Amino acid sequence: MKQFNLLINGNSISTTEHFDIINPANKSVVAQSPKANIEHLNDAVAAANAAFPKWSALTYQQRRDLLIKIADIIESNGDELMQLLTKEQGKPLKGFANLGSGFEFGGTLAWIRATASMELAPEVIQDNETARIELHRKPLGVIGSITPWNYPLLISIWHIIPALLTGNTVVLKPSEMTPLTVLRFGELIKDILPAGVLNIVSGDGSIGASMSSHQDIQKIVFTGSTATGKAIMKSASVNLKRLTLELGGNDAAIVLEDADIKAITPKIFATAFINNGQTCAALKRLYVHESVHDELCTALTSMAGNMKTGNGLVEDTDFGPLQNKKQFEIVNSLAEDARKNGANFLCGGEVIDDSGYFYPITLVNNIKDGTRLVDEEQFGPILPIIKFSNIEDAINSANRLSFGLGGSVWSTDIEKAQQIASRLECGTVWINNHAMIQPDAPFGGVKASGFGVEFGLDGLKEFTSIQTVQISKS
């Protein structure tokens, strides 16, 4: 049984304790992850602190060159990383619309290279006979990154690359459900970066909790649940840590009566079920005007009937298993509650293969606000479809929950769609699409979906403090 190691101060560190990582497709053990303790965490933070002065003194170009080398070595080890990702996370190697491990891996490379090309230059606020005033941005110090299990490699890159580019050092804790691909990433790139610049410690929730209260970590970047985000925010107050919290959502989509159903059906299907629905910004509540409701339900059901759920290592698999038993039980519970409350299952809703955590693509209509499947984030392959007749009711329904990550409006009338989109309470809104993100467009939530943004220049700024320089001329 392969045992992985931690990455601390440029060295592979073995641990006395390990824990099993389960393949959700067959419930077998993939490998064993090292279980870090508080001493390991303290060593990692100390190494990051020691590395910070020299790393932050480098130019953007010097740091950029090293980050590009990381992308190159990751690209040359793509097959191994994608196989490992499928085994521990469950997503197919290719999958429906090529949105599986290959998609996550391609996104990883794209985000490294695109982010590495950015730079925060000083801004001149005033330059006259009285004074020159400049705004400079300085790195914060040690960044703590805590990542989830749905996109383990890609979200790690979202956290660490902008942090490193802006001159910070990093201690990363991957999810205890899916640490292997990230640990292997650390093994591959450990000799590229100076010792201590990037450290990876895997372990249980106590490591994450200790990171959020650690006096020598200056900022936490966290992607995960709202409950955990609140706990991190409370712990971070010990030294007034900066925070970026991406806390998931329950994204609503509104389909208007003039929507081109034939054109939008594949996009709605793909963005609702991307990564088996285990995506923070996936389309999770579908509000459809009564005039096109039946047509869209029929079209989506027809698509679902052609999908194969199974082991992600099998080439023709469209969707893999849910990543873990707890998430499987959540989805099953929400489905059963909907059934008890009179919802109609257009397809799916019955587990027919219990060899892994498989749940079929499921579409549910005749369901209302207030049902658990509508009000709670399902994070799985089950989509509630809610009929509406009045657009004001649909907007109110979309905004009624505490979540505010993403939303979308679907219509052939772009001007009308934009007017409705502007009223949705969410950090990102799409028109005739959903869940589409890119490295240069800021992304983040409002309300209980968190605060702070990732990506683009605004994302880089999250990893810096402002220093205003005033040069008197008189």
Q: Are 201 and 192 in contact (CB under 8 A)?
A: no
Question: 447's torsion region: left (phi>0), alpha (psi -120 to 50) or beta?
Answer: left
Domains and CATH numbers, the chain: 6-247+448-472 (3.40.605.10), 251-438 (3.40.309.10)
Pairwise CA distance, residues 23 & 32, whole Å? 12
Task: Note the pLDDT tens digit of each residue in 332-390.
Answer: 999 999 999 999 999 999 999 999 999 999 999 999 999 999 999 999 999 999 999 99
Percent above pLDDT 70 for the chain:
100
Task: Classify residue 56 by burial, with Cβ atoms within 10 Å: 0-12, 13-18, 19+.
Answer: middle
Catalytic residue set: 246, 280
pLDDT of residue 474: 83
Task: Note the pLDDT tens digit of each residue in 319-346.
Answer: 999 999 999 999 999 999 999 999 999 9
Pairwise CA distance, residues 32 & 304, whole Å? 36
Task: Note the pLDDT tens digit of each residue in 276-320.
Answer: 999 999 999 999 999 999 999 999 999 999 999 999 999 999 999
State the pTM of this model. Answer: 0.97
Q: Are 252 and 241 in contact (CB under 8 A)?
A: no
